[in-house]
Structure 1
């Protein structure tokens, strides 16, 4: 349960507007632009959007995070906040073009990332570069030590 004194302090730091608009956090933000507010010394600061979610909907389910439907890290409007997983949040970021790799259109060697032109593991790996690397390794294995030294 959130104490009334915390709630009063919290809402004093919010530019509250119409229900469909973002309610902007006006106080301290972290390096990613998300609002933060101190709770107590033991717990330390919490993210403002998470505090807003918990004040309106109760505790967050285990393993869930608070996601913004509006893509505004300073927004604390409970109508714009939803519980979800990290995977759902990353999928949102990719779909909306906010993920660091969502805007990358080609590999470091310049091959375009088109459907079927890359492998998807923990990140994207260019198929053309992977095949060239494998071909180079096969050629190296077939050379003798003298041939390798001569090629350097």
Structure 2
């Protein structure tokens, strides 16, 4: 595993935040992956845990990136998923990992959640954009003069209650 870890370190850039960001291949969810001869690919943050915290590994535990910030405005997927700094990783149960994922009051694009009568959270801005067949990344939304929350206000103030066009 140490030779795989050496390969990971060669493809890693240290950021000012302390994250060690993987620069190689990643899966569809943005987590870094690395190939092993004759075996399937492995998640690079799992390699970090195997090398630096082998005594903590146990069935049913998942890696949690403690460096992740729910409100980061970085291109999707969030770069924290590429972090392999062992000091930024901990092993937690699926329940703990999901509870941390659900912290905060914004969706992954930074829009405020609304709450349904049954207590379920949803993002009305993302729902409206999806209804229109529009999908945007955080980087695209951050580059607009109109902020995401203002888009929701525009939709709410339109006669139809829907966001049909944005000029400017």
Please, what TM-score do these two structures have when normalized by structure 1? Answer: 0.61
Q: Which residue of 1 aligns with 2:24?
A: 27
Tell me: higher relative CO, structure 1 or 2? Use CA pairs within 8 A at least 6 residues apart: 2
Q: How does 1:1-150 map to 2 (within 5 A)?
A: 2=1, 4-17=2-15, 21-42=18-39, 44-58=40-54, 60-71=57-68, 72-96=80-104, 97=106, 104-106=113-115, 113=116, 117-118=117-118, 124=120
Q: In structure 1, list runs of 5 or more residues that go unmatched.
A: 107-112, 126-152
Residues paired across the two proteins, number? 107
- Quote how far apart the aligned CAs of 1:15 are: 0.9
SS of structure 2 residue aligned to 1:70: coil
**How far apart in 1 are the matches of 2:63 and 2:33?**
14
In structure 2, how many angstroms separate the alpha carbons of the residues matched to 1:103 and 1:54?
Answer: 37
Length-normalised TM-score, structure 2: 0.55
Q: What's the CA shift for 1:7? A: 2.3
CA distance in structure 2 between the aligned counterparts of 1:98 and 1:29, rounded to whole angstroms = 22
Say whether the 8 Å CA contact 1:67–1:82 is kept in structure 2.
Answer: yes
Structure 2 unaligned segments of length 5 or more: list them: 69-79, 122-168
User: Which structure has the larger Rg over C-alpha atoms?
Assistant: 1
C-alpha deviations, 1:24-47, integer Å up to 9, x for none? 0000011111000112323x0011
Deviation of 1:103 (Å): 5.5
The Cα shift of 1:10 comes to 1.6
Q: Counterpart in 2 of 1:140? A: none
* Contact 1:38 1:45 survives alignment (8 Å): yes
